């Protein structure tokens, strides 16, 4: 399920990027190509459609991201005798080194 939602989120993100690229920041874009007001998809209707598509895809991407976060596969608890890098290895405890004590002291000033 997580993989399906992730793939779907990637597709929505790609489509959202394409829809945003089709729009013109000054209100033109794909809508500027239609000059006649008598067409079924006129300038204003195309701009409205692209704006609604942008908002819908952005909301869908947000919901899919939250769903993917909630469905992330949980890792099983790691056994205390195995390491994280190699699950087949057994942890060995390394004894702490004792500080080395000097065997003889030198007089100060020599």
Has residue 99 been placed in a domain? no
Q: Which pLDDT score is estimated for 27?
A: 54
Q: Phi, psi at residue 90, to the nearest 5°?
A: -100, 135
Has residue 61 been placed in a domain? yes
Has residue 24 been placed in a domain? yes
Calculate the CA 82 to chain-centre distance.
Answer: 30
* Tens digits of residue pLDDT in 33-79: 555 554 555 556 777 888 899 999 999 999 999 999 998 888 765 55
Has residue 94 been placed in a domain? no
Q: How many domains does the chain have?
A: 1
34 contacts 43 by C-beta, under 8 angstroms: yes
Full domain range(s) for residue 42: 2-70
pTM listed for this prediction: 0.53
Calculate the CA 57 to chain-centre distance.
Answer: 17
- The mean predicted confidence, pLDDT, of the chain is 75
Q: Which pLDDT score is estimated for 74?
A: 80
Has residue 96 been placed in a domain? no
Going by the DSSP 8-state scheme, the letter that residue 105 receives in this structure is: -
């Amino acid at each position: 399920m997580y993989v399906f939602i992730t793939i779907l989120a990637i597709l929505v993100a790609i489509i959202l990027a394409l829809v945003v690229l089709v729009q013109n920041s000054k209100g033109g874009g794909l809508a500027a190509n239609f000059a006649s007001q008598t067409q079924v998809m006129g300038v204003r209707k195309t701009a409205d459609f692209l704006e609604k598509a942008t908002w819908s895809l952005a909301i869908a991407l947000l919901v899919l991201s939250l769903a993917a976060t909630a469905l992330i596969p949980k890792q099983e608890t790691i056994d205390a005798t195995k390491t994280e890098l190699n699950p087949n290895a057994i942890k060995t405890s390394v004894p702490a080194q004792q500080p080395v004590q000097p065997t003889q002291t030198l007089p100060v000033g020599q």
